[in-house]
A and B are shown apart, each in its own frame.
Chain A
């Protein structure tokens, strides 16, 4: 299983990758998780890779080999959509965050991204994760709300997902995150 997490710095991509890595380990798989941060913490594009299976060598997902791109923002989803293999799934938060070139008016935020996603030979799953996170009680739970949607679309048992969240998220934020997970999981 190859998963690409594409996000804007500060949205919690690193925590999401930890949850997925823990999930894989709990399932007894070989697993590698890779992220690049530093500059990207300051609102730049962030990408993390999670790979698990019998034996995993490279920590990096190659283009054309991802089963899932889990995008925390529309534009970031578009940036990594070519990492998907044919019929892979794009689970994407429909939130739009303007990058600096758009803010300064040098570029336009593309208005037709959802149409473009629909045209591709992929499973396109748009999610209003920001609203879910708000309802769960914190804007910061976008990541776990999306993991809820991902869990629903996987054939891994729900209890395993919940255990991975419990193993990863600090105690004081656990309740909010479990709520966001449930809301994502139960989304129609």
Chain B
């Protein structure tokens, strides 16, 4: 039976069919749906881990304990997990271990654009790269087989267009895979120098064997048609090229590290002109040139952003398909904090108080843009707290009184908690604001340690920010209603001036959480009272706009949080009496 499946859904199906028993992840676009689909298979024991490093560590333990295991994350998540990655490459595994990493070329929802194939090369482990949903499923199974055959973790590299495209997938039965015996083998798994030195030799031998496999396996395919143009490619770029120049010959890598040298030599020798069409970095191109072959690559294809059929068509055939003129000068529509979002209040106040704000990764990063403009810096998950302390290290205690760190609840557990401990331990004075909306909102509402629920929806311990703060030695802990602007302003003013570290928790559930009840009301603008001062627009709520004279509320967007009512000095925002 064929089913139309999202790439990520097909990955989950592959895990199920391959007899995977354990799956871990931290959510991150475009990888999140893998785990959201895996949890639908009760045979698989799955979890949201607090961050990617922990997710990989749990997965390594599980694989050594004998269960086929997958762990998934986005590209920047692999940076967090890089430490265990580099060593599990040495120790190897027992049952199959697949590390699924989704890259985001063009940065549709990421802070940078990085190429996970480098991590495969760095760790000297194989990287598989599917080009559609069917291959997503097939390569999960193949990846686990390679993992077990060569005693190596394997990376499955996805990209936004593979993860978030749907195509047809042939469903198959679940394989019968037994739990392997626990592999008690300290000389392999205790990576102390004496053992690691032996494994260092082993991984070079393994890489050689993997290169031979790359040449002999069907995962790397040559398709000859017209030999005038040869195209070497992988992943979704194969589909772009196939659509644009269908009559060319192709060498498609399903395994993008290590590469099949013999196949490459044969292909390049058989084609008149060979192009290397790869998304992001010139990794294939450099390898191919290093074996003395001449190919055309990044001198005509961009190294930045996603590729497309248009790019290869323009470069190779000099044809353009555009016939309808683009309408110029249109206003952009950037993403914004949702109507009713509880982060709006803290950001409004931080801006009003002119504080330096070290920001973090999540929906609330949007508080850095027009019209709130309330964030100075954003680097990576968990960085805000350490950076606020860095502000103080550089510019002293008085600067700490003019700055704060903001961080979401999930991000705090991910990697903010260690920064907070650092501040307390090193006698800093920073104020840290946890924007607690009781969910991992940015990626589409995943549970986390403060929501009281696990991935599968079971009740669990709800870890308490206040208790945690006290236990690490913070004396000043305040909890504030995020919609109460007056209380927020007073609290923040007091805490930034305190002579010790402070923790402020702004509390309100995300307005989009299903099943949460709000006591919201309907509001409208009284045009008689509105003076057109536009102060209400400063909250950056998409439900309020300005018609040239007075403000107006779009009732199809407004959720009735009433924050704007408190901003209006003329009481022009009034409750609708039903």
Binding site for B on A (CB under 8 A): 8-10, 18, 21-22, 25, 30-45, 56-60, 62-65, 75-76, 78-79, 81-86, 88, 97-110, 113, 116, 120-122, 130, 139
Contact = CB atoms under 8 A, between A and B. Distances in A.
Contacts of B325: 82, 120
A84 B325 CA distance: 10
A64 B166 contact: no
B2 A25 contact: yes
Nearest to A134: B556
B363 A57 contact: no
Given A99-B334, A121-B324, A104 B556 contact: no
B333 A31 contact: no
B309 A101 contact: no
A102 B320 CA distance: 33
Interface string B163-185: 01111100000000000000000
B168 A59 contact: no
Contact of A64 (B132, B322, B363): B322
A59 B239 contact: yes
Contacts of A102: 331, 545
Interface of B: 2, 4, 29-30, 108-109, 132, 160-161, 164-168, 236, 239-240, 242-244, 246, 308-310, 313, 320-327, 329-338, 363, 366, 369-371, 442-444, 534, 537, 540, 542, 544-546, 554, 556-557
A38 B108 contact: yes
A122 B330 contact: no
Contact of B239 (A57, A82, A106, A107): A57
A96 B105 CA distance: 31
A32 B162 CA distance: 11
Contacts of A78: 327, 330
Given A22-B4, A120-B324, A42 B338 contact: yes
A130 B161 CA distance: 31
Contact of A39 (B109, B236, B338): B109
A65 B321 contact: yes
B242 A57 contact: yes
B330 A31 contact: no
Nearest first, the 10 closest Cβ-Cβ pairs linking A and B are A38-B109, A44-B335, A64-B321, A38-B29, A99-B333, A59-B165, A42-B335, A107-B331, A34-B165, A33-B166
Given A35-B164, A58-B240, A121-B324, A105 B534 contact: yes
Given A57-B239, A58-B239, A82-B325, A43 B370 contact: no
A59 B371 contact: no
11 contacts: A32-B167, A33-B166, A39-B335, A40-B109, A58-B243, A58-B309, A60-B161, A62-B308, A83-B324, A86-B324, A113-B327
A34 B164 CA distance: 6
A22 B6 CA distance: 12
B363 A32 contact: no
Contacts of A31: 4, 166-168
A134 to B, nearest CB: 9
Contacts of B330: 75, 78-79, 110
B197 to A, nearest CB: 43
B27 to A, nearest CB: 11
A100 B336 contact: yes
Nearest to B552: A98
A121 B322 CA distance: 13
Nearest to A113: B327
Contacts of A121: 323-324
A139 B556 contact: yes
Which residue, of A36, A38, A76, has the highest number of chain B Cβ atoms within 10 A? A38
A116 B327 contact: yes
A140 B97 CA distance: 42
Nearest to B541: A103
Contacts of A44: 333-336
Contacts of B322: 63-64, 82
Given A36-B109, A101-B370, 11 more contacts: A9-B335, A32-B166, A42-B336, A59-B132, A63-B310, A76-B333, A78-B327, A101-B334, A103-B537, A103-B540, A121-B323
